[in-house]
């Protein structure tokens, strides 16, 4: 019988990769704590209706990409394709916004979308999701972009670009939408079949369709900035000014419309030139109407999510694959070494050292091979001579230098 493999688009994070994952997650927690964020861990499944009402029924995510099932009680439930909807639901359910200050929350974890897998695109992927509630001002837009930029820069990622747009508000967006629809209606036959449908349901998405013919058609489309109402224009200009004031490079991209329906005003993405076609490392924006639409209070909000797999791909390209091994490998060369070695190894570990060991005695050659395979920096050799003298040999596997250290004095290691 052939061995079973993981589901397509679902990936094991192997032990040699896990250190880098932890490094990225720890960096995220460090930066978020400096910006005064708290962690919220919503469940990975929610009622299907939550995603339909937030992401939008006519989006690719809801139409084609959700893992939806009926549970044994007959309820329709969905593996979360993103975190914002669950964060808003939890905020409202637990009144987390009460207290008079902005509520700043983040979550880290797996998301699920039934997309065509390729480099940087999986069906189970991980996001760092960050949200600020109850702050309508442009400085929280700028702050969250600065936060994202700090996180990526402190990981050492080069070649990043920040692109921004404003999608307007319920006052000015319908005007733009009508103008865009009128413009596209004359070109309907030239649009791809998906965009012909989008024209009715979600015309703004035609602007960022990947198909070359659609891109050619929208080149001359009316630009959103001509339609921003004074309040939206003022808000967006203040965001750009705050970013410029901090010396943060950014570009305006009027084709940036994002794939989720809840956005208002500022939207943004951080892209990398080193990722190929899946170049978006992170994306987000303001969603001032969503809390109210979900039956909660009228709270402005802004957030983003960063794709951890894409960050890991870039870090691997940058650093190669160093994955440091243990500080020591304890090589037991005689069965009598087992008990004294057991005590020594535990003592070294309680001193904070990382120690690998196999609890069976073997020949020196085979143990050195194992130490090498484990990637250990040093090997501790414990054979009959060492037991008799009470001094074990410790060899540095890189420099080949060897010293003798007392078996019963772990503090000297």
Residues at the site binding ligand HAM, with contacts judged by CB under 6 A:
82-84, 113, 115, 120-122, 125, 127, 129, 131, 259-260, 280-285, 303-305, 307, 309-310
Give me the least distance between CB of 267 and ligand HAM, in Å please.
8
Give me the least distance between CB of 118 and ligand HAM, in Å please.
9
Residue with Cβ nearer ligand HAM (304 or 329)? 304
Contacts 24+ apart (CB under 8 A), 230-237: 231/169, 231/171, 232/166, 232/168, 232/169, 232/171, 232/172, 232/265, 233/166, 235/138, 235/141, 235/166, 235/265, 235/266, 236/138, 236/164, 236/166, 236/265, 236/266
Residue with Cβ nearer ligand HAM (9 or 375)? 9
Residue with Cβ nearer ligand HAM (61 or 348)? 61
Q: What is the distance of C-alpha 314 from the center of its chain?
A: 12
Q: CB of 35 within 8 A of CB of 148?
A: no
Give me the least distance between CB of 286 and ligand HAM, in Å please.
8
Give the separation between CA 273 and CA 280, rounded to whole angstroms.
9
Give me the least distance between CB of 245 and ligand HAM, in Å please.
24
Give me the least distance between CB of 125 and ligand HAM, in Å please.
3
Question: Burial level of 227, CB count in 10 A (0-12/13-18/19+)?
Answer: buried
Residue with Cβ nearer ligand HAM (141 or 386)? 141
Residue with Cβ nearer ligand HAM (152 or 341)? 152
Work out the angle at residue 405's Cα, subtended by the Cα atoms of residues 400 and 409, and round it to the nearest 5 degrees.
145
Nearest to 79 by CA among 50, 105, 108: 50
Nearest to 136 by CA among 299, 305, 303, 304: 299
Give me the least distance between CB of 232 and ligand HAM, in Å please.
18
Give me the least distance between CB of 319 and ligand HAM, in Å please.
19
Residue with Cβ nearer ligand HAM (154 or 385)? 154
Sign of the CA dihedral with 225 first, then 207, 263, and 165 last: negative
Residue with Cβ nearer ligand HAM (281 or 371)? 281
Q: CB of 250 within 8 A of CB of 164?
A: yes
Sign of the CA dihedral with 37 first, then 42, 44, and 49 last: negative
Residue with Cβ nearer ligand HAM (132 or 172)? 132
Q: CB of 201 within 8 A of CB of 58?
A: yes
Q: CB of 103 within 8 A of CB of 73?
A: no
Give me the least distance between CB of 95 and ligand HAM, in Å please.
20
Q: What is the distance of C-alpha 297 from the center of its chain?
A: 28
Question: In this chain, which residue has its C-beta nearest to ligand HAM?
Answer: 307
Residue with Cβ nearer ligand HAM (289 or 326)? 289
- CB under 8 Å to 38, separation ≥6 — which residues? 104, 105, 106
Give me the least distance between CB of 112 and ligand HAM, in Å please.
9
Backbone angles phi, psi at 14, to 5 degrees: -75, 160
């Amino acid at each position: 019988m052939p061995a079973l493999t993981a589901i397509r688009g679902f990936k094991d994070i192997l032990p040699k990769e896990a250190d880098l994952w932890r490094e990225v997650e720890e960096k995220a927690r460090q930066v978020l704590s400096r910006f005064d964020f708290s962690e919220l861990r919503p469940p990975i499944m929610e009622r299907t209706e939550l995603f339909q009402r937030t992401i939008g029924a006519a989006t690719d995510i809801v139409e084609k990409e959700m893992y939806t099932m009926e549970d044994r009680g007959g309820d329709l439930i969905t593996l979360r394709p993103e975190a914002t909807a669950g964060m808003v639901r939890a905020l409202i359910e637990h009144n987390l916004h009460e207290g008079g200050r902005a509520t700043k929350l983040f979550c880290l974890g797996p998301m699920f979308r039934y997309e065509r897998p390729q480099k940087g695109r999986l069906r189970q992927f991980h996001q760092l999701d960050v949200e600020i509630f109850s702050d309508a001002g442009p400085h929280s837009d700028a702050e969250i972009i600065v936060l994202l930029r700090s996180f990526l820069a402190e990981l050492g990622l080069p070649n990043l670009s920040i692109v921004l747009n404003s999608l307007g508000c319920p006052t000015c967006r319908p005007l733009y939408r009508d103008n865009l629809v009128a413009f596209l209606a004359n070109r309907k036959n030239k649009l791809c079949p998906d965009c012909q449908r989008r024209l009715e349901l979600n015309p703004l998405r035609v602007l960022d369709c990947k198909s070359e013919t659609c891109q050619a058609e929208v080149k001359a489309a009316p630009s959103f900035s001509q339609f921003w109402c004074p309040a939206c224009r003022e808000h967006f200009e203040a965001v750009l000014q705050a970013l410029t004031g901090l010396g943060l490079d950014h570009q305006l991209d009027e084709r940036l419309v994002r794939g989720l329906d809840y956005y208002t005003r500022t939207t943004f993405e951080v892209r990398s030139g080193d990722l190929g076609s899946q170049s978006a490392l992170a994306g987000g924006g303001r969603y001032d109407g969503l809390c109210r639409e979900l039956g909660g209070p009228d709270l402005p909000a802004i957030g983003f999510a960063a794709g951890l797999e894409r960050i890991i791909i870039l870090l691997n390209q940058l650093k190669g694959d160093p994955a440091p091994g243990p500080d020591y490998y304890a090589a037991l060369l005689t069965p009598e070494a087992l008990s004294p070695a057991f005590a020594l190894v535990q003592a070294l570990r309680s001193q904070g050292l990382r120690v690998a060991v196999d609890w069976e005695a073997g020949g020196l050659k085979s143990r050195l091979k194992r130490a090498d395979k484990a990637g250990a920096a040093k090997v501790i050799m414990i054979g009959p001579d060492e037991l008799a003298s009470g001094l074990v040999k410790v060899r540095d596997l890189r420099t080949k230098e060897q010293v003798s250290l007392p078996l019963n004095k772990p503090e000297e290691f």
